[in-house]
Amino acid sequence: MNTSSDCIFCKIVSGQIPSRKVFEDDEILAFHDINPWAPVHFLMIPKTHIVSMAHVGPAHQALIGRMLGLAPRLALEAGAGPYPEGGFRIVTNTGKEGGQEVHHLHFHVMGGPRPWLRG
């Protein structure tokens, strides 16, 4: 697995920084965002250090597909309402102009009753 020693999400994967876990398997970790914008707001990350969506290529297709395929179930389990009245939003900030602050690929999954703080 690729890791970066100064990456906070790699430290969450290794347990050096604590997180409130939503889901974990051998390749994927999901944990609650520390600064939620919505009643439900968790992050899904690959355990391996991929910098951003701009660094994703054909070799990552299966992993990205698994992450997105898992998101609906985790959103419901975390408290998002069912479609169509409920639902959720998946956001991936990429690069400076894309608003990315943590440079380890992550999908924000947000849901729950509105209004939200942001988003």
Binding site residues, ligand AMP, CB under 6 A: 8, 17, 19, 31, 33-35, 43, 93, 99-102
C-beta closer to ligand AMP: residue 62 or 117: 117
Q: Vertex 14, ends 58 and 77: CA angle to 5°?
A: 75
10 contributes a contact to Zn ion by CB under 5 A: yes
Q: Look up 106 and say whether it is catalytic.
A: yes
Q: Please, are residues 70 and 109 in contact by the beta-carbon 8 Å criterion?
A: no
| Cβ atoms 40, 88 nearer than 8 A | yes
Residue 113 Cβ vs ligand AMP, minimum distance, rounded to whole Å: 20
Q: Candidates 8-16, 17-25, 29-37, 61-69 — which segment interacts with Zn ion by CB under 5 A?
A: 8-16
Work out the burial of residue 90: count CB atoms within 10 Å of its CB; fewer than 13 is exposed, 13-18 middle, 19 or more buried: middle
Nearer to Zn ion, 4 or 61 (CB): 4
Nearest-CA neighbor of 104 among 47, 49, 64, 63? 49
Return residues touching Zn ion (CB under 5 A).
Answer: 4, 7, 9-10, 49, 104
